[in-house]
């Protein structure tokens, strides 16, 4: 079994995926109290070894060993710097910038020297204004002795019922050929010629229907007294506010296309994937349930493919943030399985 150190662990979506992939979480490092408690309540970390601490205070040499080991994590990457603020002209790390979370991931790699690592981040890290930061990260990782492979993932392709794009970097210690892309497990029903043998993308229905009963009701789910409830009632499942403009026999308020964010009043359809679960959604940001209510905690957790019964610590707002910021567990499992399959 491969030992795993998790950093920037959050609520443990990636950690739970690592465990499902067969890795042993030796330690999980997370500074946010609610998230750290969530990790503890779900047994993430060997012998409850969750370190609720600023990562800058951690000495990663304590986990340096000859046995196979991996480092996983998705560091906060704001603010991005066009020049890569943590990299000197000679591509060395800068350790004294308090915002330097990409640098802290690289410091962990340098001190721990794992057999491999998995770096996760938002898709916008590939935006032209941020790409140089990622390029700097890759340059330093390679200088540290790792062959890196960049993979842009859509969670839909791996059985998650959610449109969610993320960027992963696979790092393997030593000189190797770059890894092949992880093979998808699902395919787009509209354009499935390349993967005609795979099942189609998952709809949310089978994931969230188990939580439809009264036993799971939450006070926060009721939207009936809100500003846009009448509009929500008329949005068809699988659509957003734009659909109101083309409805027959509808005389209520409509909105100019492009005048709102596309997730405004978005309503789930049970046979279709969800849009991305947000960490801090506004009051009328979807996805809403097709029964015209806000989603319940076990429903958003299920869309993020957390294991059934996974417990979250903190206020309702904190729990939403934890779940929305997490890597979908099944996506984490697929990525870590791919990493483990290619460790020398």
Q: What is the pLDDT of residue 83?
A: 34
Residue 86 has what pLDDT? Answer: 41
pLDDT at site 152:
98
pLDDT of residue 88: 43
Instruction: Dump strand ranges (E) for the chain.
Output: 3-7, 24-29, 50-51, 69-73, 116-122, 146-154, 165-173, 288-289, 293-294
Tell me whether strands 69-73 and 50-51 are parallel, antiparallel or unpaired. unpaired
pLDDT value, residue 192: 64
The sign of the torsion formed by the CA atoms of 57, 59, 63, 66 equals positive
Q: Going from the N-terminus, what domains does the chain have, and what CATH number goes with each?
A: 3-189+328-341 (3.40.50.150), 205-325 (3.90.120)
Nearest CA-CA partner of 85 in 100, 74, 98 = 100
Cα separation of 162 and 154, whole Å? 9
Count CB atoms within 10 A of the CB of residue 202. Answer: 24
d(CA 20, CA 339): 13
CA angle, 334 as apex, 329 and 337 as ends, to 5°?
Answer: 120
For residues 38 and 89, what is the distance between their CA atoms, to the nearest angstrom?
40
Confidence at residue 85, expressed as pLDDT on a 0 to 100 scale: 38
- What does the block give as tokens for 142? 């390679």
Record the tokens describing residue 222, joined without a space.
Answer: 């009721």
Residue 49 phi/psi, 5° resolution?
-85, 70
Nearest partner of 76 among 325, 316, 322, 281, judged by Cα: 325
Helix 316-325 / helix 33-41 crossing angle, nearest 10 deg: 80
| Per-residue pLDDT, 77 | 56
Structure tokens at 217: 């009701």
- Mean pLDDT, consecutive 10-residue stretches, the chain (344 aa), reads 96 98 96 97 85 96 90 76 39 46 95 97 91 94 97 98 97 94 94 82 98 96 96 98 95 93 96 96 96 98 97 97 97 98 87
Q: Name the DSSP letter for residue 286.
A: S
Instruction: Report the pLDDT value the prediction gives residue 81, as an integer from 0 to 100.
Output: 32
Cα Dmax for the chain: 70
**Which residues are identified as catalytic?**
77
């Amino acid at each position: 079994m491969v030992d795993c150190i998790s950093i920037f662990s959050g609520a443990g979506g990636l950690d739970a995926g690592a465990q499902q992939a067969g890795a042993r979480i030796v330690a999980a490092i997370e500074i946010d109290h609610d998230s750290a408690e969530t990790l503890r309540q779900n047994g993430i970390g060997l012998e409850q070894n969750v370190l609720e601490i600023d990562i800058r205070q951690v000495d990663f040499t304590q986990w340096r060993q000859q046995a196979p080991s991996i480092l996983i994590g998705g560091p906060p990457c704001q603010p991005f710097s066009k020049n890569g603020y943590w990299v000197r002209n000679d591509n060395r790390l800068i350790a004294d910038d308090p915002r330097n979370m990409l640098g802290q991931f690289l410091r962990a790699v340098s001190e721990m020297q794992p057999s491999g690592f998995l770096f996760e981040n938002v898709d916008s890290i590939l935006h032209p204004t941020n790409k140089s930061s990622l390029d700097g990260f890759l340059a330093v990782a390679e200088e540290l002795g790792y062959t890196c492979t960049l993979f842009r993932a859509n969670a839909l392709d791996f059985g998650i019922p959610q449109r969610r794009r993320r960027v992963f970097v696979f790092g393997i210690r030593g000189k190797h050929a770059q890894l092949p892309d992880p093979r998808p497990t699902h395919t787009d029903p509209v354009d499935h010629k390349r993967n005609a043998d795979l099942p189609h993308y998952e709809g949310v229905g089978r994931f969230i229907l188990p939580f439809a009963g009264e036993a799971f009701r939450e006070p926060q789910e009721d939207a009936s007294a809100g500003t846009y409830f009448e509009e929500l009632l008329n949005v068809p499942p699988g659509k957003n506010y734009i659909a109101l403009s083309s409805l027959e026999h509808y005389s209520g308020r409509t909105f100019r296309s492009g005048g709102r964010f596309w997730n405004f009043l978005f309503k789930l359809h049970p046979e279709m994937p969800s849009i991305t679960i947000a960490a801090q959604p506004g009051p009328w940001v979807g996805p809403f349930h097709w029964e015209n209510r806000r989603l319940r905690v076990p429903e958003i957790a299920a869309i993020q493919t957390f294991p059934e019964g996974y417990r979250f610590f903190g206020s309702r707002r904190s729990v939403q943030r934890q779940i929305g910021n997490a890597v979908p567990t099944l996506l984490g499992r697929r990525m870590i399985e791919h990493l483990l399959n290619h460790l020398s």
